[in-house]
Chain A
Amino acid sequence: MKASAFAYARATSVADALELLTAHGERAKVLSGGQSLLPAMNLRLIAPELIIDIGALTELRGVVVKEGVLTIGALTCHADLLKSPEIAAHAPLLTDAVAHVAHPAIRNRGTIGGSLAHADPASELPACMLTLGATIIARGPGGERRIAASGFFAGIYETALAPQELLVAVELPVPPKNSTHFFHEFARRQGDYAIVGLAAQAFVRDGRFTDLRLGFFAVGDRPLLARSAGKLVDVAITPAVLAEAASALNDELDPLEDHQATPAMRRHLAKILLARCVSSLLARPELRAGASA
C-alpha cells in the first residue's frame, strides 16, 4: 500500500501556491494536514501528479478576533482549535466539535481548511460552519472570493472551490452573548466518523428559542442547516411542537446508506438528536424522548 509517484512542490507563499494551482489545476492536489489526502493516496484511490505542500505558509495559521469576527487561518490544525482560548470564548461549539474529530495524533496534523475543502459529509467542521454562519475565504488567480458556508458544500467531497483556488481562512461572526450551543454525534467508536451528528447554536429567552440553528451532518451528501428549526423558534415547545419539527426535519433529510446505517436509521437518529438538543438547550429533561416516542 504505497502511494503512486508524484511530483512535489513546497509553496513558499500563497501567491506561489496559486501559481502552481493555476498551472496544474486538477492534476494537482493541495497538501495541508494530509490526514484525508494521504490515506486516499496510500490506498491509491487517487493519484495526483503534483502535490502542492502549503504547510510552510505560516501566514495561514492562527486565530484572530476583531470587531465581532473570528478569523481562523486555513492551516490552523484541530489541536490548535481545541486549545484556542479565543475559540473557547467566542465559538465554544467549535471547541466541542473538534474534540470529536478523530484522535490526538490526527488532530495535530489535520487542519480546518483541509477539512472544509475535503467536504466529507460525515465530518464535524463543515456542519459547524453552517451553524455558525461562516464565510469561507478563497483566493484564486482573480483575487479573493468570499463564499457563504451555506453555498460552499456542494456534495460528497465537492465544494464551490475552483481547482485554481486555495481556501485561506474562515470568518465566523461572534455569536451574541448568552447564546448557547449543543454538539453531539453518534459514532460507533470514539473518533469515528459520525453516523449522524448535530451542531446547534441557539438563543433562548424565557424558555423559548428566539434563534435556533441546527447543522446536521452525515444525513446526506453535504451538511444540512435544517429549516425545520424555524418551527421551534418563538413558540412554547411541547412534545407536539417537537414532533412537528421532527416530522419537518424528516422531509429535509436525504440520508445515504453505508456500513453503519440505513437511511431509515439515520432519519431516526437525527430525530433523536433533535429531541436531545432541544431538551438540553432548554434544560427540559422531559423533552429528551419527545420526538422519538
Chain B
Amino acid sequence: MTAAVEISLNVNGERVEANVLPRLNLADFLREHLELTGTHVGCEHGVCGACTVRVNGDIVRSCLMLAVQTHNATVETIEGVSDSGEIADLQSAFRERNALQCGFCTPGMLMAAQDLLKQSPCPDREQIREHLSGNYCRCTGYQAIVDAIETTARARAGRLT
C-alpha cells in the first residue's frame, strides 16, 4: 500500500514522469529527484518559506505538499522563473540593493515577491512586508528586500522617474 505512485507533471516547462513514494514531499522531490536544488529546505514544517514554489500559478510551501499531489500540475521553481527571464528585473533590483546576504531565503523570497507584484502592481511598503511575512530572512533585516521589491514595482508600473 505504501508503494510508489506514478505522477506526471510539468516542471519549468518540461514534462516530468516519475514514480514517487507517497511520503515524498514536493520540496524533496524537486531537490533530490529533479536536482532542482534552488528550492531550499529551511524548516520542513511550513514556517520559514524557503521552499516556496509555484503550483498551477500559485505560490505554495513545497514542504507542505506531497509530490503525489502535483499529478497533472504545473510546477515552477526559481530555476524556471530565472531562465525564462520572468523575474530578471526583480533579480536586478535585489542585486543593486544587496537584498540578499547568504542567499538561502532568496529563491523563496523572490517567488513570494513576484507573486505579490503579479497581484498588486503598486504595493506600498506595508503591503510588501505583509506579503513576505511568511518568508524568514535571518541576514538582511528585510529592509533591503522591501526596497528592492518597491523599486521593481515602480519600474514595472512605469512610474520610475
Contacts and interface: CB of A to CB of B under 8 A. Distances in A.
A–B proximity contact (CB within 8 A): yes
A190 B23 contact: no
A79 B25 contact: no
B128 to A, nearest CB: 12
A206 B75 CA distance: 55
Nearest to A103: B134
Interface residues of A, number: 33
B61 A5 contact: no
Contact of A43 (B45, B60, B61): B45
Contact of A39 (B23, B28, B64): B64
A105 interface: yes
Contacts of A41: 23
Interface string A38-66: 11011100000111010100000000000
B113 to A, nearest CB: 11
A38 B44 CA distance: 9
Contacts of B49: 103, 105
B53 to A, nearest CB: 9
A1 interface: yes
A79 B46 contact: no
Interface stretch (A6-14, A163-171, A240-248): A6-14
Interface in B6-26: 21-23, 25
Interface SS of B by simple majority: mixed
B64 A10 contact: no
Interface in B67-88: 68-69, 71
B133 A108 contact: no
A35 interface: yes
Nearest to A33: B64
B73 to A, nearest CB: 10
A231 B131 CA distance: 39
Contact of A7 (B2, B46, B64, B71): B2
Given A3-B25, A5-B2, A105 B134 contact: yes
Contacts of A38: 25, 46, 63-66
Given A39-B64, A109-B61, 16 more contacts: A3-B23, A3-B25, A5-B22, A7-B2, A8-B68, A31-B66, A34-B65, A38-B46, A42-B44, A42-B63, A53-B69, A79-B58, A103-B133, A105-B52, A105-B112, A190-B133
